[in-house]
Chain A
Amino acid sequence: MRRVLAWMLSGMLVLPLVLLVLLSLARHWTWPALLPAELQVRQWRDLFADANGLGTVVLRSLGMGVGVAVVATTLGFASSRSLARHARKGRLLALLHLPFAVSPVVLGVSLLYAFLRLHLAGHMLGVMLAQLVFAYAYAVILLSGFWNQRARSLEELASSLGAGRRQVWLHVLMPLARPLLGVCLFQTFLISWFDYALVLLIGSGQVSTLTMTLYQYFSSGDIRLAATCALLLLTPPLLALGLNHQLLSATIVTRLEAYDDE
């Protein structure tokens, strides 16, 4: 029974990906054929030969994702430490959930008004700042779990042994938080990478990302190009997931857990 459930779960996760791969390579695939009659790589060639310059779009999306992830995680790590020691920690933490409680579209509309006045609408920087609202809040919430009594004791211990503030961060806190920082970088990257609503609203049609391109292909009815673009959209997260899995299963996590148990 357990094996059947495992196969069903794997099938549910893998089948959509297989379908996307087949669609991106299919030349003729008509009902009721189970598999395409003929395969080709034309969709992939067309995608990159596109006059819109998909290479640039991919690079822009990657750049925005990495930028948002690095800024959100860096600021989030420092802010979460201050938050953990704040007298009104609970209230501030609740406030940080606000961006997720309201719809991104609602928040996007209100941000658009402000960004129009600041001349940030229609610019990549504006879109990234809007994404940062979500990514930063997420980073602080995620990383606030790191600052427990043990982290504080280790911080004090390092400082008692002669470590200055910078040394405490470099030699104790960052190595200890490495697995969590990896998760945070990954998740905040995904917030930007998969974002559509904020790019649409704040970008005002001037900022083209991979999600925008995917929707354009989809709405134009070219399902095969859309599938190819969707696969491209899935590639970095899948690669990051593999890397992240390694980070998560790194010995440091095992050690921390073992130490906590004793």
Chain B
Amino acid sequence: MMSDASSPTLRVDHLGVQLGGQFVLRDVSIVVDAHTTMAVIGASGCGKTTLLRAIAGLVTPERGEVRLGARRVDLLPPNRRGIVYLNQEPLLFPHLDLFENIAFGLRLRRLPERQVRERVAEMLVQLELDGMERRHAHALSGGQRQRAAFGRALVVEPALLLLDEPFSNLDPDTRTSMQDLFKQLAHRRGITALLVTHDLKESMRMGDSFAMMRGGRVHAYADRKAFCADPASGVDREAAFWQAFASGEVQVPRCDVPTGDS
């Protein structure tokens, strides 16, 4: 696990962002502890993406501060914040092959060639993409592209990783395996991450701490229990539905699961 200095606590204080003359973020304050993942859940259009973009420096806030550990980063340009923003879409540079895509951030940091090769090779193995080094984006599946995008972000060991609904375009199986892969890598590398999603299950699987976003405001929960207990989170409704479904109380067509007896 990495030191607190390389993956510090994120502290957002009274952040306000105006877009097109309207406040999209209003007085947002959150704390994400070092080496943990905070899941922010909210409906489409509530300002989740804007929150991440403001932290990454891709949108200029009207007010507020963003700190990573003791360092105030909102006054720095995006490339000097040590924050990697991962888009909903797994964007790979189309002019570079898989190896060079993952090596992109390392090359910018002018690391020795040997070190670049070693770190990329190690990452490719962790991502189970070894042997595909020379493939370009168009020759990779959606899941492979998403893994590559993760690898490219993680290999530079960012102080903070921002995940903008990163699994929403994937099929359920790939999504689950990607969520597991992320948890595994985040734990191994001690990543501090902020994830925004509208998927309740995803937030429960990925998050160590939780927050709810509505109308540009964020409400952070003390712990998982408090999140589940809040009716606004929808956890109780979801759980009640599946309990009712399992007991046959819900009137929906049942799935006939093959028993294997035939």
> Interface on A for B, CB 8 Å cutoff?
150, 153-154, 156-164, 167, 171-172, 175-176, 178, 252, 254-256, 258-259, 262
Q: With a CB–CB cut-off of 8 A, which chain A residues contact B78?
A: 156, 159-160
B122 to chain A, nearest CB (A): 18
Given contacts A159-B79, A161-B156, contact A176 B95 (CB under 8 A): yes
Q: With a CB–CB cut-off of 8 A, which chain B residues contact A256?
A: 94
A11–B93 alpha-carbon span in the complex (Å): 43
Closest A residue to B92 by beta carbon equals A259
Closest A residue to B162 by beta carbon equals A160
Q: With a CB–CB cut-off of 8 A, which chain B residues contact A255?
A: 94-95, 136-138
Q: Taking the complex as formed, is B246 at the interface, i.e. its CB lies under 8 A from any CB of chain A?
A: no
B153-A259 in contact (CB<8A): no
> Interface on B for A, CB 8 Å cutoff?
56, 58, 77-80, 83-85, 87, 89, 91-95, 104-105, 108-109, 136-138, 142, 152-153, 156
B138-A259 in contact (CB<8A): yes
A160-B152 in contact (CB<8A): no
Q: With a CB–CB cut-off of 8 A, which chain A residues contact B109?
A: 162
B156-A175 in contact (CB<8A): no
Given contacts A154-B91, A157-B91, contact A162 B156 (CB under 8 A): yes
**Apart from A150-B91, A160-B83, A259-B138, what 9 extra A-B contacts exist at CB < 8 Å?**
A153-B89, A158-B93, A160-B79, A160-B84, A161-B104, A164-B77, A255-B137, A255-B138, A259-B94
B11 to chain A, nearest CB (A): 20
Q: With a CB–CB cut-off of 8 A, which chain A residues contact B91?
A: 150, 153-154, 157
Q: With a CB–CB cut-off of 8 A, which chain B residues contact A160?
A: 56, 58, 78-79, 83-85
Given contacts A162-B156, A252-B94, contact A157 B138 (CB under 8 A): no
B104-A158 in contact (CB<8A): yes
B49 to chain A, nearest CB (A): 12
Given contacts A156-B78, A262-B138, contact A162 B108 (CB under 8 A): yes
Q: With a CB–CB cut-off of 8 A, which chain B residues contact A178?
A: 95
**15 contacting pairs across A/B (C-beta < 8 A):** A156-B58, A157-B87, A158-B93, A158-B104, A159-B58, A159-B77, A159-B79, A160-B79, A162-B108, A164-B77, A167-B79, A171-B108, A176-B95, A258-B138, A259-B137
Closest B residue to A257 by beta carbon equals B138
Shortest beta-carbon contacts, A-B, top 3: A258-B138, A161-B105, A175-B95
A191–B79 alpha-carbon span in the complex (Å): 39
A162–B109 alpha-carbon span in the complex (Å): 8
A259–B89 alpha-carbon span in the complex (Å): 12
A172–B78 alpha-carbon span in the complex (Å): 16
A154–B104 alpha-carbon span in the complex (Å): 12
